[in-house]
Chains A and B, each alone.
Chain A
Amino acid sequence: MFCYNCGCHLSEHDFCTSCGADVSLYKKIMCMSNRFYNDGLEKAGVRDLTGAINSLRQSLKFNKNNIEARNLLGLVYFETGEVVAALSEWVISKNMRPEKNIADDYINMLQSNASRLDAINQTIKKYNQALVYCNQDSKDLAIIQLKKVLSLNPKFIRAHQLLALLYMDSEQWDRAERELRKCVDIDRNNTLTLRYLKEVEMQLAPDENSRQTGRRKKDDAVRYQSDNEIIIQPLNVKEQKSAGLSSLVNIAIGLVIGLAVMYFLVVPAAVSNANNEAQKTITDIGNQLDTKTSRIQELEAQMAALQTENDTLNQELQGYVGTDGTLQTIDSLLAAATTYLETQDVTQTAANLESISSSVDVDSTSEAFQKLYKTLLGIIGPQLSAQYYETGYNAYRSEDYAAAIENLSKAVIYDETNKDAWLSLGNSYRKSDDAKNAITTYDKIIELFPDTETARSAQRYRSQLAENTAQ
């Protein structure tokens, strides 16, 4: 202890031996400070942290330079989760005694671990945020926030108390009690904690009484806490005498329940799966059936078209085929040839050939057929042409121009070199006022028989017709 006046070391006397200043009151103040420090130290030793804080603050009010009291106060603050308050006390302490001060170690402990300091700061911010949530009546959010705070800093007394208060407000008395018990574990004599705890115990008291009564009637139980869970372990549970029988009954009940589960859950699921697969198969078959049906319809349409074509061809063939299956046209041609060879009857042969040419396109027949047809036509052609010319010319002379044209046309068909027939035909057209066919016929004569008298006559008639037509 040093003199407040000169700074000399004080003796047991009530005055300073150096400057003579009266230090009796000063000594009493220092003693009071030390007494409060001792009291705070004792209370901190039994975890009465609130009492310790009060005593240590009193000690510092008497002597602000009581470094031990200030360091201990910082330590107690730190234990209650009030890190900033603790840091403040240690900083002041270090400022007062820069050397040989344990506060230096405490500060270094915090400052050396940046992540820990950051976590502490986050904890404080979350706590403040939770408080804001409480004021905004967002209690669920506040509870979540406080749980985060306590996971980071489990010794934060104020956070425990606020969480307990929120649980109490929502009448979750068990949880509130759990939080308050944690508070008591940290600080045994916190007035706020004890007041809340009293309220919680009052709320829980009726249940406790009933539980105790129940327990006495039955069996006692061991209750212990593991983390956040309360484990209740019953004691003196006696085995029933008919344990074997009850086990069998239980097994039977279990089997029945299992079968029921199988019947109500597994079997319907299996049936449903089977139905689904069957339905899928049916769908696939239906699709295949549709495809095949459409294919069958397509083939049937093709078949009908082919049948129609076949019928048409058969009908055409029937026209060509005789009763004995021989082609009728060939038969007719052979008959015509036979008739000519046997009778030399040009008229009959010509009739047969005309019948053939009317029923079939001679150019589309076989080469042999055409050769025979043309040979016969070449043999009988000039004779026929002469006959038709004679008939036609007689008709021309009798001014029956229609008959003349008909016969003379056949005459030039059977013998293209029949000049007289050509000229008579042209004249017949001219006389029947068919100028167009007449000119065509005269042109043909001029082309076929140039430099002949017939051609000159044709030219003359043609010129007359042309002049008449122009007029």
Chain B
Amino acid sequence: MINFEEELKKFHPSLEVEDAEEAIYNQDLTDAADLLVKMIKESEKKEEK
């Protein structure tokens, strides 16, 4: 049986157009490739030491 109150908590306010700019700036764009490059560079630094 669906609980209305509980289900209602799953709905969040939608972003308005004015808020789009802020949402874009705050988006975390770090991807797996970035992590890999970072790991490789860190390992290279360790080897150099």
Q: A25-B36, A92-B29, A131-B11 are in contact. Are A124 and B16 (CB under 8 A)?
A: yes
**B17 and A64 contacting across the interface, CB-CB below 8 Å:** no
Which A residues lie within 8 Å of B47 (CB)?
none
Residue of B nearest to A123 (CB): B14
Taking the complex as formed, is B48 at the interface, i.e. its CB lies under 8 A from any CB of chain A? no
Which B residues lie within 8 Å of A196 (CB)?
2
- Give residues 118-158 of A contacting B (CB, 8 Å): 120-121, 124-125, 127-128, 131, 134-135, 158
**B32 and A63 contacting across the interface, CB-CB below 8 Å:** yes
**B19 and A92 contacting across the interface, CB-CB below 8 Å:** no
**B14 and A29 contacting across the interface, CB-CB below 8 Å:** no
**A4 and B23 contacting across the interface, CB-CB below 8 Å:** no
A64-B15 Cα distance, complex, nearest whole Å:
22
Q: Closest CB-CB distance, A97 to chain B, in whole Å?
A: 14
Which B residues lie within 8 Å of A161 (CB)?
11
- Give residues 5-49 of B contacting A (CB, 8 Å): 7-8, 10-20, 23-24, 27, 29-34, 36-37, 40
A161-B4 Cα distance, complex, nearest whole Å:
12
**A124 and B17 contacting across the interface, CB-CB below 8 Å:** yes
A124-B19 Cα distance, complex, nearest whole Å:
11
Residue of B nearest to A60 (CB): B31
**A62 and B32 contacting across the interface, CB-CB below 8 Å:** yes
Taking the complex as formed, is A402 at the interface, i.e. its CB lies under 8 A from any CB of chain B? no
**A61 and B14 contacting across the interface, CB-CB below 8 Å:** no
**B29 and A4 contacting across the interface, CB-CB below 8 Å:** no
**A84 and B16 contacting across the interface, CB-CB below 8 Å:** yes
**B14 and A84 contacting across the interface, CB-CB below 8 Å:** yes
Which A residues lie within 8 Å of B20 (CB)?
84, 87-88, 91
**A91 and B24 contacting across the interface, CB-CB below 8 Å:** yes
- Give residues 213-244 of A contacting B (CB, 8 Å): none
A403-B3 Cα distance, complex, nearest whole Å:
141
Residue of A nearest to B39 (CB): A25
Between B1, B14, B19, B31, the greatest number of chain A beta carbons within 10 A of the residue's beta carbon is seen for B14
Residue of A nearest to B23 (CB): A88
**B27 and A88 contacting across the interface, CB-CB below 8 Å:** yes
- Residues of A bordering B, CB below 8 Å: 4-5, 21-22, 25-26, 29-30, 32-33, 60-65, 82-85, 87-88, 91-92, 117, 120-121, 124-125, 127-128, 131, 134-135, 158, 161-162, 165, 168-169, 192, 195-196, 199
Between B8, B19, B31, B32, the greatest number of chain A beta carbons within 10 A of the residue's beta carbon is seen for B32
A131-B7 Cα distance, complex, nearest whole Å:
12
A195-B1 Cα distance, complex, nearest whole Å:
10
Given A62-B31, A85-B15, A168-B4, 11 additional A-B pairs, CB 8 A: A4-B36, A5-B37, A30-B33, A84-B15, A88-B20, A120-B17, A124-B15, A128-B14, A128-B16, A158-B14, A162-B11
Q: Which of B1, B7, B18, B33 contacts A4 (CB 8 A)?
A: B33
List 5 tightest A-B contacts by C-beta distance, closest first: A64-B31, A84-B15, A169-B4, A128-B13, A121-B17
Which B residues lie within 8 Å of A60 (CB)?
31
Q: Which of A63, A83, A158, A168 contacts B31 (CB 8 A)?
A: A63
Residue of B nearest to A22 (CB): B40
**A64 and B29 contacting across the interface, CB-CB below 8 Å:** yes
A217-B23 Cα distance, complex, nearest whole Å:
60
Residue of A nearest to B29 (CB): A64
A192-B33 Cα distance, complex, nearest whole Å:
32
**A88 and B24 contacting across the interface, CB-CB below 8 Å:** yes
Which A residues lie within 8 Å of B37 (CB)?
4-5, 26
A61-B29 Cα distance, complex, nearest whole Å:
8
Which B residues lie within 8 Å of A84 (CB)?
14-17, 19-20, 23
Which A residues lie within 8 Å of B18 (CB)?
121
A60-B29 Cα distance, complex, nearest whole Å:
9
**A92 and B27 contacting across the interface, CB-CB below 8 Å:** yes
**B33 and A62 contacting across the interface, CB-CB below 8 Å:** yes
A161-B10 Cα distance, complex, nearest whole Å:
11
Residue of B nearest to A81 (CB): B14
Q: A84-B15, A125-B16 are in contact. Are A26 and B27 (CB under 8 A)?
A: no
